């Protein structure tokens, strides 16, 4: 599986820097990823929804550390290309 497209939608807020969408193999898109400024730098948060108890649950997420790193690296690479920071 290959990431064939990444789109960045800048927000410029204090912690939430951008939303992103990624496309796999030109045939499957995941929307709602977030580029967030954390205490250790930028990271990519997966799309999530709020549960009735107020907690959050990921709607889509990688199952392996390798895929998580691939997604994060690619999204942050595209974010840095579009960012003015």
CA distances from 14 to 31, 39, 73 (A): 21, 12, 21
CATH for 67: 3.30.1120.40
Quickly tell me which residue has 């960012």 as its tokens: 83
Q: Which residue has the tokens 């107020």?
A: 54
SS3 of 75, please? helix
pLDDT in tens, 39-59: 899 999 999 999 999 999 999
Domain span including residue 20: 3-82
- SS3 breakdown of the chain: % helix, strand, coil, rounded to 5? 20, 45, 35
Overall domain count for the chain: 1
Task: Tell me what pLDDT residue 84 has.
Answer: 65
**CA-based radius of gyration for the chain:** 13
pLDDT of residue 26 exceeding 90, the answer is yes
């Amino acid at each position: 599986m290959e990431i064939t497209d990444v789109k960045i939608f800048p927000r410029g807020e204090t912690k939430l820097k951008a939303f992103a969408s990624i496309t796999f193999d030109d045939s499957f898109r995941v929307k709602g990823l977030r580029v967030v400024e954390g205490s250790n730098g930028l990271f990519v948060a997966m799309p999530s929804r709020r549960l009735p108890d107020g907690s959050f649950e990921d709607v889509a997420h990688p199952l392996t550390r390798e895929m998580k790193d691939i997604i994060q690296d690619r999204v942050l690479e595209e974010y840095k290309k579009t960012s003015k920071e």
